[in-house]
């Protein structure tokens, strides 16, 4: 069936057709729409699978590893830092011979962050013993997902797979795709019935024990499986062509038979290269193309055979290997061609978009040269980059000269205006209010989230105080190290870790908890908009009962994580809840936290117009209704004592609060009554007052 699909939708359809049974993924740009599509498929009854919303990428791959160890076909998708966080479990999956299929929607890795694809995430894991398939387009994506399951589950292989597409460049681009028929896929890909790792009470087995001196033998087994996979991939590709009419291989040579010059590439750039080969052939230039489709196992023999007649070879690399002269694929290709007399050159294109004109420029330079060279495509250095990594005015500082920097004035917020936030953003208002209490001695440490996207986005920087961005998972540890170092250096500073609910409730909870346990003097500010808003509204540990998100399409089930109780369990911590609708209460609590010589946690509920689905002009009204209905209770907790700060004179029904938000528009009367009952119970426990609607406060 022909369908007009995005790259992410192609991934989802491949998973659906493969009948994955357990799916888990954590929100990350640009892979999230693939998992959202799978949520929709399950909700519509198109896929019989259990989807588990994980707290992090490490949790997501762990869920998949556990499920496949129990005998189910599993799937996850991620990219960039998400794949890096999975790393430990990648090695567990391959080490335990668990055929997980993982779609890597590739994105640049690192700090500073990038949003384009340069294959650095997947190629950084090339020794994790995962098969790696690189896709040129949406059609190849859907086909590769299906074939990856068949190859990974083959008894000669039993290794996990990456199916790699390029973030945004492919993931969000639409094209016409032939979606295979389910009946044909079922015949091609039988139900997963493992004979090596599964759970059966009548057949107990032990997996993953220490091997000590036997470790080299174990690695030899993995090596053998990788080598055997080469032929299995070829056989599966051949059978796929017979059933579905589309031909794939480990490498795909195009007009290389008589070519004197051959360009090598992988991924989406191959489509442009193929067209250019045709153009240059029409000009009488004997040019050929070698598409590298499978990177692990690396097809040395096929590459050597395909490039044997070339006098010059040009390898286009997206992924550099800092510390080596060459890009990652060029390193491997040079190794495969050790006896070749060809001049092997390398152009590193990194995450840049490549046009036909760009390729013309590369080819004109390459074809007139006989020497070997390594170049970066359009790698002109922009001096403004230095301001984002701390190197501006470096020479002046070395000479001991005074460098003028704009410093926050007393009473100002450390975050200036003019940031690229959504209209009506309450979170930015809350953060600015908090920061107005501090002076130039404040230092902000930020987890990933909305703030990191709108506060500093090259070449703009809205911060007038020291600001350090760290990723979701480890900001708590980084803030801890900063607090210790500043004390050691005798620098007076108030460290404020600013994070969204996902960062503190879920993926960053480990390092947040450890920092609390150690007692660092850090003020933890949670701007809680009750979902992962920066990645497009997915469930977090703070998402309310029955709230709709893109990963809770019928409403979130289960209870909200009680973060205050978790924080309180760490001992001597000042805890406060707040709302931007009550600014004086918020500022009073921030001032108190600033005065204390211990950890503080301030939890601010921040309505979000696109995520909560309301008119941006209603943000403060909705924030106030949260308190007036008792769904948000403003209180402090310290030394075992809870003090409620604001109790509404007459509490309003929760329905008034819920029905102003599109995320609750699907609720039934019974569900609203259930939420009212739970709200009454919580309100009574905190205030000690009457729990009925209309009860006057104190």
Kindly state the tokens that stand for 536.
């497009």
* Contacts for 165 with CB less than 8 Å, ≥ 6 apart: 7, 10, 11, 103, 104, 105, 106, 135, 141, 171
User: What local confidence, expressed as pLDDT, does residue 55 receive?
Assistant: 95
Residue (of 562, 504, 500, 574) closest to 531 by Cα position: 500
**Alpha carbons 65 and 96: distance in angstroms, whole number:** 9
**Alpha carbons 169 and 105: distance in angstroms, whole number:** 10
**At residue 697, does pLDDT exceed 50?**
no
Contact 482, 522 (CB under 8 A): no
**Alpha carbons 68 and 193: distance in angstroms, whole number:** 10
**Distance of CA 47 to CAs 42, 62, 186, 371, 675, Å?**
5, 22, 13, 55, 31
Query: Which phi and psi (to 5°) does residue 48 adopt?
Result: -95, 90
Paired sense of beta strands 2-6 and 174-178, if any: antiparallel
| Max CA separation in the chain (angstroms) | 90
User: What local confidence, expressed as pLDDT, does residue 698 receive?
Assistant: 39
Strand (E) or helix (H) holding 696:
none
**Alpha carbons 382 and 288: distance in angstroms, whole number:** 35
**Alpha carbons 238 and 30: distance in angstroms, whole number:** 32
Mean pLDDT of 517-527: 97
- The residue ranking higher by pLDDT, 632 or 448, is 632
**Alpha carbons 173 and 188: distance in angstroms, whole number:** 28
Q: With bands split at pLDDT 50, 70 and 90, how would you rate the model's confidence at 470?
A: confident
Residue 93 DSSP label:
H
* Contacts for 329 with CB less than 8 Å, ≥ 6 apart: 123, 264, 266, 292, 295, 315, 317, 319
Q: With bands split at pLDDT 50, 70 and 90, how would you rate the model's confidence at 9?
A: very high
**Alpha carbons 603 and 601: distance in angstroms, whole number:** 6
Residue (of 549, 522, 540, 529) closest to 446 by Cα position: 522
Mean pLDDT of 522-527: 97
**Alpha carbons 696 and 415: distance in angstroms, whole number:** 39
**Alpha carbons 203 and 209: distance in angstroms, whole number:** 18
Least confident of 500-504, 532-536, 685-689: 685-689
Q: What's the chain's Rg over C-alpha atoms?
A: 28
- The residue ranking higher by pLDDT, 469 or 374, is 374
CA 12, 13, 18, 21 torsion: positive or negative? positive
The listed CATH number (2.30.29.30, 3.30.470.30, 3.40.50.1100, 3.40.50.970) that belongs to domain 426-687: 3.40.50.970
**At residue 300, does pLDDT exceed 90?**
yes
Q: With bands split at pLDDT 50, 70 and 90, how would you rate the model's confidence at 563?
A: very high
**Alpha carbons 654 and 659: distance in angstroms, whole number:** 9
**At residue 415, does pLDDT exceed 90?**
no
pLDDT mean across residues, the chain = 93
User: What local confidence, expressed as pLDDT, does residue 454 receive?
Assistant: 79
**Alpha carbons 243 and 239: distance in angstroms, whole number:** 6
Kindly state the tokens that stand for 109.
């890795």
Say what percent of the chain tops pLDDT 90: 83
Q: With bands split at pLDDT 50, 70 and 90, how would you rate the model's confidence at 463?
A: confident
Cis peptide before 592 (omega within 30 of 0): no
**Alpha carbons 78 and 26: distance in angstroms, whole number:** 7
Q: With bands split at pLDDT 50, 70 and 90, how would you rate the model's confidence at 387?
A: low
Helical pair 87-95 and 57-69, crossing angle rounded to 10 deg:
10
Q: 3-class SS at 562? A: coil
Cα(first)–Cα(last) distance of the chain, in Å? 66
User: What local confidence, expressed as pLDDT, does residue 409 receive?
Assistant: 79
Q: List, as one string, the DSSP characters of 33-58.
A: HHHHHHHHHHHTTS---EEEE-SSHH
251-376, which class in CATH? alpha beta
User: What local confidence, expressed as pLDDT, does residue 136 receive?
Assistant: 98
- The residue ranking higher by pLDDT, 382 or 128, is 128
Q: With bands split at pLDDT 50, 70 and 90, how would you rate the model's confidence at 307?
A: very high
User: What local confidence, expressed as pLDDT, does residue 388 receive?
Assistant: 54
**Alpha carbons 315 and 275: distance in angstroms, whole number:** 17
Mean pLDDT of 180-206: 94
- Residue for token pair 């094209």: 175
**At residue 395, does pLDDT exceed 90?**
no
User: What local confidence, expressed as pLDDT, does residue 212 receive?
Assistant: 78
**Alpha carbons 463 and 435: distance in angstroms, whole number:** 11
Q: What are 231-248's pLDDT values in tens digits?
A: 999 999 999 999 999 999
CB atoms within 10 A of CB 429: 20
Q: What are 489-515's pLDDT values in tens digits?
A: 999 999 999 999 999 999 999 999 999
CB atoms within 10 A of CB 405: 9
Residue 505 DSSP label:
I
Residue (of 93, 91, 76, 68) closest to 31 by Cα position: 76
Mean pLDDT of 305-313: 96
- For the chain, the structural domain boundaries read 2-199+210-244, 251-376, 426-687
* Contacts for 85 with CB less than 8 Å, ≥ 6 apart: 56, 57, 58, 473, 507
What is this structure's pTM?
A: 0.92
Q: What are 69-105's pLDDT values in tens digits?
A: 999 999 999 999 999 999 999 999 999 999 999 999 9
Residue (of 285, 319, 299) closest to 252 by Cα position: 299
Neighbour-count burial of 267, counting CB atoms closer than 10 A to its CB (0-12 exposed, 13-18 middle, 19+ buried): buried
**At residue 588, does pLDDT exceed 90?**
yes
User: What local confidence, expressed as pLDDT, does residue 335 receive?
Assistant: 95
Least confident of 186-195, 669-678, 682-691: 682-691
**Domain spanning 2-199+210-244: CATH superfamily:** Thiamin diphosphate (ThDP)-binding fold, Pyr/PP domains (3.40.50.970)
Contact 629, 650 (CB under 8 A): no
Say what percent of the chain tops pLDDT 70: 96
Domain 251-376 identical in fold to domain 426-687: yes
**At residue 526, does pLDDT exceed 80?**
yes
Helical pair 87-95 and 215-244, crossing angle rounded to 10 deg:
90
- Residue for token pair 């009574």: 684
Q: With bands split at pLDDT 50, 70 and 90, how would you rate the model's confidence at 339?
A: confident
- Residue for token pair 């930015």: 428
**Alpha carbons 536 and 33: distance in angstroms, whole number:** 9
**Sheet strands (E) in 454-521:** 456-457, 460-461, 467-469, 494-500
**At residue 443, does pLDDT exceed 70?**
yes
Neighbour-count burial of 523, counting CB atoms closer than 10 A to its CB (0-12 exposed, 13-18 middle, 19+ buried): buried
Q: 3-class SS at 206? A: coil
Q: With bands split at pLDDT 50, 70 and 90, how would you rate the model's confidence at 634?
A: very high
Residue (of 21, 6, 248, 54) closest to 149 by Cα position: 21
**Distance of CA 413 to CAs 255, 387, 408, 475, 589, Å?**
62, 21, 7, 22, 16
**Alpha carbons 159 and 180: distance in angstroms, whole number:** 25
Strand (E) or helix (H) holding 315:
strand 312-317
Beta-ladder partners of 494: 442
**Alpha carbons 479 and 485: distance in angstroms, whole number:** 10
């Amino acid at each position: 069936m022909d369908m007009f699909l995005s790259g992410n939708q192609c991934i989802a359809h491949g998973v659906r057709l493969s009948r994955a049974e357990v799916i888990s993924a954590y929100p990350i740009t640009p892979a999230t729409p693939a998992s959202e599509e799978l949520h929709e498929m399950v909700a519509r009854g198109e896929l019989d699978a259990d989807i588990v919303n994980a707290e992090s990428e490490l949790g997501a791959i762990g869920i998949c590893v556990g499920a496949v160890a129990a005998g189910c076909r599993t799937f996850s998708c991620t990219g960039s830092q998400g794949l890096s966080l999975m790393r430990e479990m990648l090695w567990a999956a391959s080490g335990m011979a668990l055929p997980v299929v993982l779609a890597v929607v590739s994105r640049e890795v690192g700090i500073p962050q990038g949003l384009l694809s340069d294959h650095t995430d997947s190629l950084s894991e090339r020794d994790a013993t995962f098969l790696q398939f690189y896709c040129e387009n949406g059609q190849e994506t859907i086909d590769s997902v299906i074939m990856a399951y068949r190859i990974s589950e083959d008894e000669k292989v039993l290794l996990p797979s990456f199916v790699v597409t390029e973030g945004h460049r492919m993931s969000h681009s639409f094209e016409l795709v032939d979606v295979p028929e389910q009946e044909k896929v079922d015949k091609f890909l039988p139900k997963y019935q493992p004979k090596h790792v599964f759970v059966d009470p009548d057949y107990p087995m032990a997996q993953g024990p220490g091997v000590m001196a036997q470790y080299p033998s174990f690695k030899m087994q993995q090596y053998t499986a990788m080598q055997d996979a080469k032929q299995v991939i070829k056989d599966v590709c051949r059978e796929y062509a017979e059933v579905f009419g589309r031909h794939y291989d480990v490498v795909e040579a195009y007009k290389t038979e008589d070519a004197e010059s051959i360009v090598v590439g992988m991924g989406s750039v191959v489509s442009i290269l193929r067209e250019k080969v045709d153009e240059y052939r029409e000009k009488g230039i004997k040019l050929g193309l070698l598409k590298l489709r499978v990177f692990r196992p690396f097809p040395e023999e096929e590459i050597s055979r395909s490039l044997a007649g070339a006098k010059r070879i040009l390898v286009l690399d997206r992924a550099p290997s800092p510390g080596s002269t060459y890009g990652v694929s060029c390193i491997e290709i040079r190794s495969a061609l050790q006896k070749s007399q060809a001049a092997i050159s390398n152009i590193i294109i990194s995450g840049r978009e490549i046009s036909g004109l760009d390729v013309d420029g590369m080819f004109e330079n390459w074809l007139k040269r006989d020497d070997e060279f390594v170049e970066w495509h359009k790698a002109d250095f922009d001096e403004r980059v230095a301001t984002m990594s701390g190197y501006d005015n470096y020479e002046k500082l070395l000479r001991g000269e005074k460098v003028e920097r704009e410093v926050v004035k007393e009473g100002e917020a450390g975050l200036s205006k003019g940031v690229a936030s959504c209209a009506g953003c309450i979170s930015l208002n809350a953060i600015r209010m908090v920061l107005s209490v501090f002076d130039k001695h404040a230092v902000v440490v930020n987890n990933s989230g909305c703030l990191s996207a709108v506060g500093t986005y090259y070449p703009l920087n809205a911060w007038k105080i020291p600001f350090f961005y760290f990723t979701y998972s480890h900001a708590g540890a980084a803030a801890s190290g900063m607090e210790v170092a500043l004390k050691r250096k005798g620098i007076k500073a108030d460290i404020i870790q600013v994070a969204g609910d996902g960062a503190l409730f879920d993926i960053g909870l480990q390092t947040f908890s450890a920092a609390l346990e150690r007692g660092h003097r850090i003020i933890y500010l949670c701007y809680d908009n009750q979902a992962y808003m920066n990645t497009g509204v997915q469930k977090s540990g703070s998402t309310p009962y029955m709230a709709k998100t893109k990963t809770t399409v019928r409403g979130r089930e289960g209870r909200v994580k009680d973060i205050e109780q978790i924080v309180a369990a760490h001992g001597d911590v000042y805890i406060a809840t707040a709302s931007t609708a009550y600014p004086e209460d918020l500022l009073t609590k921030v001032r108190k936290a600033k005065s204390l010589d211990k950890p503080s946690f301030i939890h601010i509920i921040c309505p979000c117009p696109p995520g909560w689905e309301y008119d941006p002009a209603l943000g403060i009204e909705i924030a106030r209704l949260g308190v007036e209905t008792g769904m948000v209770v403003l209180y402090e907790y310290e030394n075992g004592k809870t003090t409620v700060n604001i109790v509404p004179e007459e509490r309003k029904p929760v329905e008034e609060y819920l029905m102003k938000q599109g995320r609750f528009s699907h609720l039934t009367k019974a569900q609203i009554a259930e939420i009212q009952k739970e709200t009454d119970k919580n309100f009574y426990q905190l205030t000690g007052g009457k729990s009925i609607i209309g009860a006057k406060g104190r």
